[in-house]
Amino acid sequence: MADKVLICKDCAKEFVFTEGEQAFYQEKGFTNEPARCPECRKARKKDRGNSNYNRGY
């Protein structure tokens, strides 16, 4: 397994999907590669957290 360069679907920047990350995904049974770079994943997670808080969940 080698590092892969992927393109973020939100910001269109290239990011590296490392061998270690690939092994983690495989271990967890994930079948899809990440579609977003780490920065966009973090921002999306933060936005999701805030939206649930605002809805009173």
Which sequence spans correspond to the domains of the chain? Answer: 4-55
Residue found under tokens 């808080």: 53
Residue 40: partners with Cβ closer than 8 Å, 6 or more residues away: 8, 10, 11
Give the per-residue pLDDT at 57.
Answer: 52
What is the enclosing helix (H) or strand (E) of 26?
Answer: helix 19-28
Separation between Cα atoms, residue 10 and residue 33, nearest integer Å: 15
Give 1-57 pLDDT, tens digit per residue: 899 999 999 999 999 999 999 999 999 999 999 999 999 999 999 988 765 555 555
Going by C-beta distance under 8 Å and a sequence separation of 6 or more, which residues neighbour residue 39? 11
The reply to whether the predicted model has a pTM over 0.85 is no
